[in-house]
């Protein structure tokens, strides 16, 4: 193998290793967030509050007026949850615009899990979430591509 090809091969191997290292850092952060996801719901004041909210939301279609109204008595509990969990756009002053991609991935996984409570398909509710949070066309396409590619 020529010196030029060997140097190119080495450069490519170093690049691949660097990408793998960066991806591993993201995986480790996501894994830590996965373990910690919504643990604030396991202690007061959220523990009691979310028990009541879960009951109030049963059978209600996401985004319906009844669904939105069911949240009203639980405003303070929900506010506490958003303040302590940065995978919610409501955690930030500028919503999704203040989030990073790691928080965004957790939010998307949270949306999928929430969708299984009713329809089972995130595709059935995603347009309402996109509208609710003012997500622009390009990011909406990325979300929909992700949902499609994951079979959600």
DSSP state string for 40-78? GGGSTTHHHHHHHHHHHHTTPPTTSHHHHHHTGGGHHHH
Domains: count for the chain: 3
- Among left, alpha and beta (phi > 0; psi -120 to 50; other), residue 32 is alpha
30 and 68 assigned to the same domain: no
Q: State pLDDT tens for residues 25-41.
A: 999 999 999 999 999 99
22 and 55 assigned to the same domain: no
98 and 151 assigned to the same domain: yes
81 and 113 assigned to the same domain: no
Where are the alpha helices (H) located in the chain, listed in sequence order? 3-36, 46-57, 65-70, 75-84, 101-115, 126-132, 137-150
Q: Contact 101/109 with Cβ under 8 angstroms?
A: no
Which of 56, 85, 114 terminates a domain? The answer is 85
Domain that holds residue 6: 1-36
Q: Contact 99/107 with Cβ under 8 angstroms?
A: yes
45 and 12 assigned to the same domain: no
102 and 145 assigned to the same domain: yes
112 and 146 assigned to the same domain: yes
Give pTM, 2 decimals: 0.91
Q: What confidence tier does 117 reach under pLDDT thresholds 50, 70, 90?
A: confident
Greater pLDDT, 135 or 121: 135
Residue 64: the pLDDT is 87
71: how many CB neighbours lie within 10 A of its CB? 13
- Is it the case that residue 119 has pLDDT exceeding 70? no
134 and 100 assigned to the same domain: yes
121 and 133 assigned to the same domain: yes
59 and 78 assigned to the same domain: yes
56 and 75 assigned to the same domain: yes
Classify residue 27 by its DSSP letter: H
Q: Which of these, 98, 103, 84, 96, lies nearest to 38 by C-alpha position?
A: 84
60 and 108 assigned to the same domain: no
């Amino acid at each position: 193998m020529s010196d030029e090809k060997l140097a190119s091969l080495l450069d490519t191997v170093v690049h691949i290793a660097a990408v793998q290292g960066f991806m591993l850092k993201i995986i480790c952060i996501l894994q830590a967030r996965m373990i910690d996801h919504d643990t604030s719901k396991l202690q007061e004041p959220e523990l009691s509050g979310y028990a009541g909210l879960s009951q109030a939301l049963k059978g209600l279609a996401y985004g319906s007026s009844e669904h939105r109204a069911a949240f009203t008595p639980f405003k303070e509990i929900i506010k506490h949850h958003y303040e302590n969990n940065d995978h919610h756009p409501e955690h930030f002053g500028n919503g999704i615009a203040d989030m990073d991609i790691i928080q965004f991935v957790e939010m998307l996984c949270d949306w999928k899990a929430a969708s299984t409570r009713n329809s089972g398909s995130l595709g059935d509710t995603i347009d309402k979430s996109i509208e609710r949070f003012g997500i622009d066309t390009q990011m909406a396409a990325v979300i929909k591509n992700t949902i499609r590619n994951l079979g959600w």
